Amino acid sequence: GEELYRGLKGKRYLIVMDDIEAWNDLKKYFPNDNNKSRILFTSRITNVALHVKPDRPPHPLRFLTEDESWELLKQKIFRTEVCPPVLEKIGKQIVRKCGGLPLAIVVVAGLLAKTDKMQDWWEQVTQSVSSHSIIGNAEQCMNTLALSYGHLPNHLKACFLYFGAFPEDYEIRVWKLIRLWIAEGFIHQIGQKSLEDVAGEYLMDLIDRSLVLVAKKKSTGEIKACRIHDLLHDFCLTKMCIPLDNVSTTLHIRSFLWFAYDHQSPSHDFLTFRHLRVLDLLAIWIPEFSHGITQLFLLRYLALRGEHLAIPDSISNLHNLETLIVSDGIGTTIPPNIWKIVKLRHLRIGGINYMEAPNFEDGYPLALDNLQTITQIEPSASCESVLARTPNLRKLGFCGHFNRVMGCFWFPDLDFLNQLETLWLLNKPTPRINNLQRVKFPPHLKRLLLSHTRLEWEEMSIIGMLPNLEALKLEYNACIGPSWETNDGGFRRLKFLRFYLMNIKQWSASSSQFPSLQRLELGRCEKLKEIPSELGDISTLQTIEVSWCSQSATNSARRIREEQKSMGNDWLQISILRTLDSGLATYS
């Protein structure tokens, strides 16, 4: 809040906020310099708006008209198709009963869109939707949500209600949600698909039914975070079992998720929760890894946060563990016993972590078939024997000192990992210049992050020839040298390219060298003179984002926008967040 105040002080600003529940705690962070600054916000609580401006009544949002309601329903169900005349009359009856409430209309549309467009089914829905003239708007919405929920397939009901376990308006990372669903036992194997893929399909189904909202997307277009509407959250809470106030007496708690950030350890003795499957304490600072946690034998999902959390050898007691997350650490030693957990699917540990080489002849599994994620480990020969037993690894993060073999950049060969799609190479800062001559990348790599790797720009020709690469992030002097002349023939599938804290001055590139690029991000590239103008001719390019770059680089982005606009290209978006010279936030 204080940082926001300092950033706005003395400036003229327009702030837009959604769903405000209290104003007194917020207003102190917005300086009033009598310079015609404005704040616009929405609230479901009339008294909040009246408290801000008692002499001016708030502007009430009107309900949709019947024509607007019908257009919304049609767009959600048929998109570009034409609604059959036999369904139009029934559809207008349905939206009339929705009372002009957009959420009710969208939820009903999600229900109708996921079923065959049959007249008798639409008539059945018409009878099920209550008339708004009989009951209030809130109750009308709840009844509409209950209708949609009632028609969910059984395998989706628990997944949907689980959103009630998170705070209201909480943006949930998709990877976390999926792993929690799996840990709770909501996801079951379908054919040859992994549990993660099945869960991803379930999430898309809920999104298609308009029950879940997309909050953020990844650079490659995949969904990164999601959330649900406040009323949907209320509905989930009414359907969920509410735990007792005194959690110490609840011996059968299966999940414990803590969301209030605190630097103190929890006072609860988790050994009393013998049936725990999920223990998420990422919001709490933990001083040490409690050996008592390794006695929770049913645990499937464990997430902890702390700087010096040493993973004990007894971690292997957790035979059912599927996900282990240790956040904010500076590094530890990963005990070899951890590889005895055959059900382990995801291992995420912060910092530089050394992996002890296990003796696989001493009671270890021949293969870690379930393991899909390992981040972050120091690249060393000791991890090669583990990687050789992970045929289904999808994501791998190396962090630490990348050893040099005959003057070359080195980490274990990865060309045998056919399922690996995401790779992080986070090098310990060093003055050395590296090359990739001896590196063997996985064949189906889609996402690559390079940090402090200090490669010569010429090495990008090797990266460019990775046949399936879709996203490339170059950060903290990943490459060194004043200029990059991009070679022809590479980056054929690259959709996302990011530079952050790179010292590049001159970049020469053409549209033919990035034929699939959709998004370009440049952050804190203070020496870059300009963005190659020909990049604007890439037919797939949708967005160029520039932040904390030189004025000349910012101006070149604007020129690209104007050139493309003059040629009829109105879909290219240029986002200029800040410039070094002005320090002002602008958008275009």
Q: SS3 for 83-151, per residue?
A: CCHHHHHHHHHHHHHCCCCHHHHHHHHHHHHCCCCCHHHHHHHHHHCCCCCCCCHHHHHHHHHHHHHHC
Q: Which domains does the chain have, with CATH numbers?
A: 2-52 (no CATH), 66-150 (1.10.8), 158-239 (1.10.10), 481-588 (no CATH)
Contact of 448 with 469, CB cutoff 8 Å: yes
- The count of other CB atoms within 10 Å of the CB of residue 267 is 6
Q: In this prediction, what percent of the chain has a pLDDT beyond 90? A: 51
Output the CA–CA distances (angstroms, integers) from residue 506 to 340, 418, 537, in the order listed.
Answer: 51, 36, 19
Whole-number Å distance between alpha carbons of 202 and 208: 10
Structure confidence by residue, pLDDT tens digits, 404-413: 666 567 888 9
The residues facing 279 across adjacent strands are 256, 302
Per-residue model confidence (pLDDT) at position 140: 62
Q: How many residues does the chain have?
A: 588
Contact of 480 with 455, CB cutoff 8 Å: yes
* 452 or 381, higher pLDDT: 452
Whole-number Å distance between alpha carbons of 336 and 339: 6
Kindly state the average pLDDT of the residues 71-81: 88
- DSSP H or E segment with residue 546: strand 543-549
Contact of 96 with 130, CB cutoff 8 Å: no
Per-residue model confidence (pLDDT) at position 231: 76
Whole-number Å distance between alpha carbons of 349 and 331: 8
Whole-number Å distance between alpha carbons of 190 and 54: 59
Whole-number Å distance between alpha carbons of 462 and 467: 11
- The count of other CB atoms within 10 Å of the CB of residue 586 is 12
Kindly state the average pLDDT of the residues 200-228: 89
Whole-number Å distance between alpha carbons of 51 and 36: 20
Whole-number Å distance between alpha carbons of 94 and 129: 7
Structure confidence by residue, pLDDT tens digits, 501-512: 999 999 999 999
Per-residue model confidence (pLDDT) at position 182: 98
* Predicted confidence (pLDDT) at residue 63 exceeds the cutoff of 90: no
Structure confidence by residue, pLDDT tens digits, 172-197: 999 999 999 999 999 999 999 999 99
Q: Which of 112, 368, 370 is nearest to 383 (CA)?
A: 368
> Which two tokens mark 516?
């699939």
Q: In this prediction, what percent of the chain has a pLDDT beyond 70? A: 92
* Predicted confidence (pLDDT) at residue 562 exceeds the cutoff of 80: yes
Q: Which of 437, 406, 409, 440 is nearest to 423 (CA)?
A: 440
Window from 94-108, 133-147, 276-290, 323-337 with minimum mean pLDDT: 133-147
Per-residue model confidence (pLDDT) at position 263: 60
Whole-number Å distance between alpha carbons of 496 and 541: 9
How far, in whole angstroms, is CA 448 from its chain's centroid?
Answer: 17
* Predicted confidence (pLDDT) at residue 588 exceeds the cutoff of 60: no
Contact of 479 with 502, CB cutoff 8 Å: yes
Per-residue model confidence (pLDDT) at position 507: 97
* Predicted confidence (pLDDT) at residue 495 exceeds the cutoff of 90: yes
Structure confidence by residue, pLDDT tens digits, 262-304: 666 665 667 778 889 999 999 888 888 888 899 999 999 999 9
